[in-house]
Amino acid sequence: RGKRAFIAGIADDNGYGWAIAKSLAAAGAEILVGTWVPALNIFETSLRLGKFDESRVLPDGSLMKITKVYPLDAVYDCPEDVPEDVKTNKRYAGSTKWTVKEVAESVKEDFGSIDILIHSLANGPEVSKPLLETSRNGYLAAISASSYSFVSLLKYFAPIINPGGATISLTYIASEKVIPGYGGGMSSAKAALESDTQVLAFEAGRKHKIRVNTISAGPLRSRAAKAIGFIDMIIDYSLENAPLQKELSADEVGNVAAFLASPLASAITGAVVYVDNGLNAMGVGV
């Protein structure tokens, strides 16, 4: 039978999550999606109205099928963790069972198991502030949404990921080199995500025989990246300074994710894989 993938962090057709879904679908995987609760309505409506149909086209001409979209807020592990103001918030009131534990339970009920878990989400409310001006709450929120969210997803999904399965998250080089503008503790959050990739590769490898890798992706004009504000400058910088002087397409990241999730990568775990036109190799620009 084909593989089944759960991709957390798709709310439109511009981000890495969408491109990864397409590459996995093109390779024959069944696609399940977890969408941030406040973005769920517009995503499902746009899907239904055919607004994404052009970008659903796979290499063989068929349209990518999304079997099911689950509401998800990866900042909350279980219902007891959800504060009253969120519970009663208009944007959450229409959905149920969107904490990480409940989503894993729903996927288990609906499908029994999965083979591939993708974490393509991040959030840092103070991302536009330098680290030196970031509040404790802003820093902890960045870590909660962008790093612990992966620990939590793996914790609750691991029992339903088949042995031989693979998990992948998305990181950014700001974890290891200074990228002014990537603030609010987001650089810290990516450093945590990369370190956790190694520890979780060990723990989940031993306990569940599943692999844990992260892709350090180059810049893409996604919704999240546009919110940070400096994406055009970073794309220009990469065009000028990377070994490969071309714009990075989301599909190139999607294809590496499909490789990492496949048996071709059966000995790769605990790795940070750069998909950035080689920019990470440069010490100075020329």
Nearest to 153 by CA among 6, 43, 261: 6
Q: Give the number of other CB atoms < 10 A from CB of residue 61.
A: 6
Nearer to ligand NAD, 214 or 269 (CB): 214
Q: Which of 76, 92, 156, 172 is catalytic?
A: 172
Q: How many residues bind ligand NAD (CB under 6 A)?
A: 28
Write the interaction track for ligand NAD spanning residues 123-162; mark x where CB under 6 A is met and - where it is not.
Answer: x---------------------x-----------------
Within residues 226-285, the interface with ligand NAD by CB under 6 A covers none
The interface region with ligand NAD, picked from 21-29, 85-93, 115-123, 156-164 by CB under 6 A, is: 115-123
Instruction: Please answer whether residues 248 and 277 qualify as being in contact, where contact means their C-beta atoms are separated by less than 8 angstroms.
Output: yes
Phi-psi region of 244 (alpha: psi -120 to 50; beta: other; left: phi over 0): beta
Q: Does 39 bind ligand NAD (CB under 6 A)?
A: yes
Indicate which single residue of 21, 31, 47, 74 sits in contact with ligand NAD (rule: CB under 6 A). 74
User: What is the closest distance, in whole angstroms, from the C-beta atom of residue 48 to ligand NAD in the complex?
Assistant: 18
Nearer to ligand NAD, 92 or 172 (CB): 172
Q: Is 33 helix (H, G, I), strand (E, B) or coil?
A: strand
Angle of CA points 209, 211, 216, to nearest 5°: 170
User: What is the closest distance, in whole angstroms, from the C-beta atom of residue 217 to ligand NAD in the complex?
Assistant: 4
Nearer to ligand NAD, 162 or 259 (CB): 259
Q: Does 225 bind ligand NAD (CB under 6 A)?
A: yes
Q: In 63-135, which ranges are continuous DSSP H helix? A: 84-87, 90-93, 100-111
Nearest to 171 by CA among 141, 203, 149, 156: 149
Hey, what are 117's tokens?
Answer: 């878990």
The catalytic residue positions are: 172, 182
